[in-house]
Structure 1
Amino acid sequence: MSDDNMSKLTRRSVLGGVATLGIAGAGVASFTGTVAGASSTLSISSGDADVANDRGDVSRVTADPSFTVDWDGLDDAVGKVFFLLEARVGDQDEFSPLYRATPWLGADEIGTAGSFTRPNSENGGLGPLVVADEDGEPDYTTFDFSNLGGVDLGSYLDGTSMSSSDNYVPGGPSPDSSTVVVPSDQPMQNNYPNADAGYYGAASDTAPFDNGDPTTTGETVVALRYTVELQRPNLSQLKYRVDYEDIDGVGSTDEFQALPEGEQKSVAAEQIDGLEVSDIDDGNSTIVMNGEDGNYEFDTPSGIPYSEMQNNADDHVGILTDTTEFTVSVTNQPDTSGGSGSSNSEAN
């Protein structure tokens, strides 16, 4: 990219992401959308992976995503950055969700212009995420959602309501606890309870990667789809972002929440640069600029199904989505080789 093009991009909303699998350089994709003077760009890339051993098999394939989102010139302040990572392995017809999260921005990051970085595991992130392993994709129809109010199989799969990863317990707790009972034979990979986010497990087993033909190399293509949504801040978030020392008679989150909602919003807007009272949601956070300035208007802006986001990404500056691919090459070494090895990729 030329310096001139980069200088233009840095004045707009830009997202660049990398799914790292050891050997970099292949599979670059980009997406650009513009609505009523505001624009956003998504550019992601991934590297291929190579494995060689005397069995021609793979036990696990992972992705270690990282990305940075920059935004500028929006009419609403951004308080949260939702992201979803999905995978499609080999000949699969559909994408399967791997992981989603909605990081809350700090007080110095909230605003109509700003930036957010999601690092990979080598730089403080929670990855790598399991794309495929020997257990395969869980059978979600075996999950018991009856103890967790507001969540069912449909809302779990479309992302409109799924609760925290802490609520998904393999083997199941006592029947009266507020958890989803996950059968012990349906392991849920990618479980990062400290992230308080949603996870789904692998998208596939490793059968599509296995190569049983000696002295040959088999190739399997994995597609990764990223979806990012920029959301407004809400009071549940801002109670942790204001400085109570500057508020008379308030010294805790409980005391702040006891204030009238209008006063809570006024305090937050006064303390946080770039934030206005009109930017703050009372309940769940909604997508920025819903139906404003030519952007698409969602019927439920605080809970948009994954497919609806992706289908309307071209018409909304707050949604970015695109797909990249990487190839896993598996070499079945001759039976006489007597050894096994790896190229240090994240397929093994």
Structure 2
Amino acid sequence: MLSASELANRLARDAEAVCRHYLSAGRRAGNYWIVGDTANSKGKSLYVHLTGPRAGRWADGATAEYGDLLDLVRETCGLVDFRDVADEARRFLSLPQPAPAASRRGDARTDPPVERPADERAQRLFRMSQPLAGTMADSYLRQRGILRASQHPALRYHPSCYYRDLATGRTRSFPALIAAVTDPGGTITGVHRTWLDPGGGGKAQVEDPRRALGGLLGNAVRFAFPVHNPVSVMAAGEGLESILSLSHVMPGMPMVSALTANHLAAFELPPGCVRLYIAADADAAGRNGIERLSRRAQARGILPLVLAPELGDFNDDLRLDPSRLIASLRAQLAPEDATVFLPS
């Protein structure tokens, strides 16, 4: 009897066949299978790696869901018990599979290109990037009222970062703001890229100008965050620019951007934390992430407190009036934290 990992590996060997069977509304684009969601809707939100060491791994950019092909079988078939998922996977593996397109044409088959692990690619991209100060990325953040971003070691700039259109497979280059995602020990596990308009007009005019690469689960982009010292008070939220806006007016408070609601819910809380401020995001996914992280914090004996913006997010508040944002935060922070972290 094959184990779960063995079943997932067997499915990954024929990842494209799995996708054609369970996600027939999608299509291949380069080394990915692109489809709307696990319900097999038309669209481009969900992508499945078809080659390399991540073959069979998938992620949905709209919901932040991800997993392997066993998870995909479970979601597409609406199954709950693992026994049923395994039975369905074994049924699929026993079906005769069509020959790959290249073989049907009589072309010679070639081995798929070797792909570096995502965390290694993330670390390499961060090393290749340059300090933020005076760059287009620094200017982009200044236009959004974030004036001291260059003081954060987690942020860098790449003048020509590759962008792949997941629908067409076409690759282009844009300048990009690069943010390091790190684990509790400070090791880079991933990066977040914000592609920018070369003409200085904000974000690049592409379908999804923000993407993460590498290991996000439990990790985050960290600001003013001591690696080896205890953290008693901190703030956590989703969006990079929203957290940078809070950090702009409270530069001494340790903060993290987890980048998505699901990753916020799974953030690994530091030892010694007694109060956790959670930056609110108004949508349903954001509220769910706040609730899940709050429950985990309470189970650890940490007091969770939600910080709410007056407008759409904290960057909107900062751009409207920094002093008004400070006043709003003063009313929401514990008095002892307001004294320590907010300007008098």
TM range (shorter): under 0.3
Q: Which structure shows the higher strand fraction?
A: 1
TM-score normalised by the chain length of structure 2: 0.22
TM-score normalised by the chain length of structure 1: 0.21
Structure with more relative contact order (C-alpha pairs < 8 Å, separation 6 or more): 1
Q: Which structure shows the higher helix fraction?
A: 2
